[in-house]
Chains A and B, each alone.
Chain A
Amino acid sequence: MSGRWTWFNVTSVVLGFAFLYIPIILLVIYSFNESRLVTVWAGFSTRWYVEMFNNQGLMDAAWVTIRVALMSATIATVLGTLAALALVRYTRFTGRTLFTGMVYAPLVMPEVITGLSLLLLFVSINMDRGFWTVTLAHITFSLCFVAVVVQSRLVSFDMSLEEAAQDLGCTPFEAFWKVTLPVIFPAVISGWMLAFTLSLDDLVIASFTSGPGATTLPMKIYSQVRLGVTPEINAVCTILIGLVAIGVITATLVTKQRAVADARARQADPA
């Protein structure tokens, strides 16, 4: 399809992106506002960033959130990759329909239901709520997202490569580890990143499954936002937005570089 930009196309794209980005840009600008009144501009200042780093409660919550996100993203990536393998490779095993349903259902399940049901599970087995319950809950819902991402890469994987490895004496696990995993690795990494941000972002499920001493950053932000907009929260949000933007842009550039390198390698080697 040829690129055809009519005035209609340009306007809808420009307006659409303005709608998507203006709120975020305003938030970032006003985090550098001197005034405590968030919507009145009183000159440039970084005082809210200083106050933020001196706020022990916020820093504790940030630390809990990062630990939960690292732990849950890593375990969810392992489990999600296994689930994707099971879905793509093994088309016949007992209870496959139930399994498929359980992998897809959390993607569309309202968070309030997931949170409530997991909490009731933890209560009924008398598990103390805190760091571990939040982590378990986050693993469970993000493993499904990882499974979908990895699955989309696995369907186009050429199985004969792994068969060849097994013919040459690899065990099935070695064949997976040495042949399949390197090929699907970019998908595994993006699955991990998705799981990490989902965990970082989650308010509802964490509120249900968390306990004393395990307040996550979204929970902290939420309880302060309910009392009103503060410049300090603007500063926290700006830092989070900055980190995510750097992460996403780096990931895009790396994959692009790899794609360019691949294309060059293919051009250099016509066979």
Chain B
Amino acid sequence: MNLFRRLTILIPYLWLLVLFLLPFLIVFRISLSEPVLAMPPYAPQFDLGEGWAAFRESLSQLSFANYVWLTEDALYRNAYFSSLRIALVSTFLTLLIGFPLAYGMARASEELRPILLMLVILPFWTSFLIRVYAWIGILKPEGLLNQFLMSLGLISEPLTILNTDTAVYIGIVYSYLPFMVLPIYATLEKMDYSLIEAAQDLGCTALGAFWKVTARLALPGVLAGCLLVFIPAVGEFVIPDLLGGSDTLMIGKTLWTEFFNNRDWPVASAVAIILLILLVVPIVLFQNAQARAQETGS
């Protein structure tokens, strides 16, 4: 074990232990404490510096009151369910738009493909906040979409889209579309299209061949894309805050409000822990997919 190797492992390891794992333990600890009117606004629990007796004493003081309160209060329950619902619907909509786009790109000519790929990635490099902000000007009652539709004579009254769940769906689909397109494109690009011809020669209709061959082969990419959209969408804050209405409940927004407006740090921490528990299954799925991709890549 030489020094270089030891440092290579040790430096990032220690960094992540101190700035990633330790903060989580602190969140968990604070979620079990009582709020107080002070700074910091919570009563600290089990200070390890005070010896074993003090540690045992504080263990008995741990309170799951915040969690009980979160499960009993309909507001939080609704926020969790509505986050899951909004994330699921928008993941589905993203797939609906992303799949044909990825398919069309994969079937473009060899010279065109790198350019199309760059065009999909380019918006991802521009600020997330800017992309969400751009939609405010389009969706407002006196915004560009309503102006356009009214000048065509399709509607006589402006549609209310901004500050509704519809605007949140549009925002999520728009922001996360590249995450859906890229993994699907990666699987479709490698696909051997003579398989489709073979299926059609054997009597499949075009749609049947698509469903039985293309859709099956693209499944890993579709799954990866859906997870990459669903996971961040559940905890999304910026999009529901800027595009959603006052009745758009999402858990990321609730956490933010508890923390910044109500200054209830213990409850905010408990919200974070529950959100994490909700995401454990999709995150583990994602990690397994990553590990598998890495194995096949190497």
Mark A residues whose CB is within 8 Å of B.
1-6, 8-13, 15-17, 19-21, 23-24, 26-27, 30, 38-39, 79-80, 82-83, 85-86, 89-90, 93, 95, 98-99, 101-106, 108, 110-113, 116-118, 120-121, 123-124, 136-137, 139-140, 143, 147, 151-152, 155-156, 171-173, 176, 197, 200-201, 203-204, 207-208, 218, 221-222, 225-226, 229, 233-234, 237, 240-241, 244-245, 247-248, 252
Contact = CB atoms under 8 A, between A and B. Distances in A.
Given A120-B27, A124-B44, A229-B133, 14 more contacts: A8-B104, A12-B104, A23-B174, A24-B134, A27-B134, A39-B143, A85-B8, A110-B235, A116-B259, A116-B272, A117-B272, A118-B23, A140-B19, A241-B126
Given A86-B12, A103-B16, A110 B137 contact: no
Contacts of A143: 12, 15-16
A171 B21 CA distance: 33
Nearest to B83: A110
A14 to B, nearest CB: 8
Contacts of B5: 89-90, 172
Which of A6, A26, A147, A233 lies at the interface centre, i.e. has the most chain B CB atoms within 10 A of its CB? Answer: A26
A248 B122 contact: yes
A110 B279 contact: yes
B160 interface: no
Contacts of B275: 110, 112-113
A20 B174 CA distance: 7
A110 B24 CA distance: 13
B286 A108 contact: yes
10 contacts: A16-B101, A23-B174, A111-B237, A112-B272, A113-B255, A124-B44, A155-B297, A200-B127, A229-B133, A233-B133
Interface in B1-49: 2, 4-5, 7-9, 11-13, 15-17, 19-24, 26-27, 30, 40, 44
Highest count of chain B CB atoms <10 Å: which of A12, A24, A79: A12
B290 A21 contact: no
Contacts of A234: 137
B208 interface: no
Interface string B235-258: 111100010000000001001100
Interface centre among B19, B138, B142 (most CB of A within 10 A): B19
Interface stretch (B55-63, B71-79, B110-118): B110-118
A176 B269 contact: no
B97 A152 contact: no
A150 to B, nearest CB: 12
Contacts of A80: 12
B269 A13 contact: no
Interface residues of B, number: 96
Contacts of B121: 248
The binding surface of chain A is classed by DSSP as helix
B192 interface: yes
B125 A123 contact: no
A229 B142 CA distance: 12
A140 B110 CA distance: 38
- Select the residue from B21, B23, B136, B174 with max chain A CB neighbours within 10 A: B23
Given A39-B137, A108-B232, A110-B232, A226 B242 contact: yes
B164 interface: no
Contact of A16 (B4, B97, B238): B97
B12 A1 contact: no
Contacts of A103: 12, 16
A95 to B, nearest CB: 7
A15 B104 CA distance: 11
B150 interface: no
B255 A116 contact: yes
A200 B130 CA distance: 12
Given A120-B26, A155-B298, A248-B121, A9 B137 contact: no
